[in-house]
Structure 1
Amino acid sequence: MVFPGDANHHGTLFAGNGLNRMARAAFLAARGAAQREVVMASVTRVDFLAPVGVGQQLLLRAWVSRVGRSSLTVCVTGLAQAPGTPTEEVLKGVFEMVAVDAHGRPAPIANAYLKPETT
């Protein structure tokens, strides 16, 4: 839900708050896939496709699209809906995440469900 404290002076989701929510979704998807701690390395692209007004529900979906030796690419989309209206895609972005060890150094990803790239 977008609350007034999340909004800009136009009454829509402040872009910084939208990016923060997307980054958290990317983190959760990457950590779940890597089965270890991850950090963000970069944001490849973020598109704000439509404004999200106060009172609208915002649903974020994040999925891992690539797994490397220690890095993952995570795609995030945001869908908004006001009561009684159709769902609309309003946000999308691509995040590069890196699996790390206890010292914060890149660590290999070993997950039986994901086959890391060899290149």
Structure 2
Amino acid sequence: MTTPTGTVELTEIVFPAEANHYGTLFGGNALQLMAKVAFLAARSAAARDVVMAGVTDVRFLAPVPVGHVLTLRAWVSRVGRSSLTVCVNGLAATLGSPPEAVLQGVFDMVAVDAKGRPTPIANAYLNPEETP
């Protein structure tokens, strides 16, 4: 199976600077990483700049302790005239442990022109068989 256009993976390690007072990934930093990977996926699929229009759903399924590796995978699940929906899943792992689902989110992105106005996405077509 080929990776569909608009699928991106981002891998980060959780350092103390990104942690809260419990020694786990601070929610605001998790949201920032999820927004970044959603942006990259939407930009890839739209082949143009995009901005975030909204966040439909975010779930913090489990804490991510300092030292764990966080892998975020984003894929475009819907392409409209100028908007895209991007799903994000996050898995965390440490050496010797299987990855655990820790984050989920759905982001609404909009393709924009040089002036920041919504603009149509050329060839706005997503093959449903390409959904990861």
TM range (shorter): over 0.9
Secondary structure of 1:28 counterpart: helix
User: Is the counterpart of residue 55 in structure 1 residue 82 in structure 2?
Assistant: no
Q: Is the contact between residue 35 and residue 111 of structure 1 (CA under 8 Å) also seen in structure 2?
A: no
* Aligned-residue offset at 1:114: 3.3
* Aligned-residue offset at 1:88: 0.3
Q: Which residue of 2 aligns with 1:105?
A: 117
How many residues are paired up? 115
Q: Is the contact between residue 72 and residue 98 of structure 1 (CA under 8 Å) also seen in structure 2?
A: yes
Aligned-partner residue type, residue 45 of structure 1:
D
Aligned-partner residue type, residue 37 of structure 1:
D
* Aligned-residue offset at 1:76: 0.3
Cα distance in 2 for residues equivalent to 1:111 and 1:69: 9
Q: Is the contact between residue 93 and residue 100 of structure 2 (CA under 8 Å) also seen in structure 1?
A: yes
Q: Which residue of 2 aligns with 1:12?
A: 24
Cα deviations by residue, 1:61-80 (Å, 9 ceiling, x for unpaired): 00000000000000000000
Structure 1 residues 66 and 112: alpha-carbon distance in aligned structure 2, compared to 1, 3 A threshold = closer
Aligned-partner residue type, residue 99 of structure 2:
T
Q: Which residue of 1 aligns with 2:81?
A: 69
User: Is the counterpart of residue 29 in structure 1 residue 49 in structure 2?
Assistant: no
* Aligned-residue offset at 1:111: 3.2
Structure 1 residues 112 and 73: alpha-carbon distance in aligned structure 2, compared to 1, 3 A threshold = closer
Cα distance in 2 for residues equivalent to 1:4 and 1:42: 29
Identity across the alignment (%): 72
* Aligned-residue offset at 1:82: 1.1
> Structure 1 unaligned runs (5+)?
none
Cα distance in 2 for residues equivalent to 1:48 and 1:79: 11
Q: Is the contact between residue 26 and residue 74 of structure 1 (CA under 8 Å) also seen in structure 2?
A: yes
Q: Is the contact between residue 33 and residue 111 of structure 1 (CA under 8 Å) also seen in structure 2?
A: no
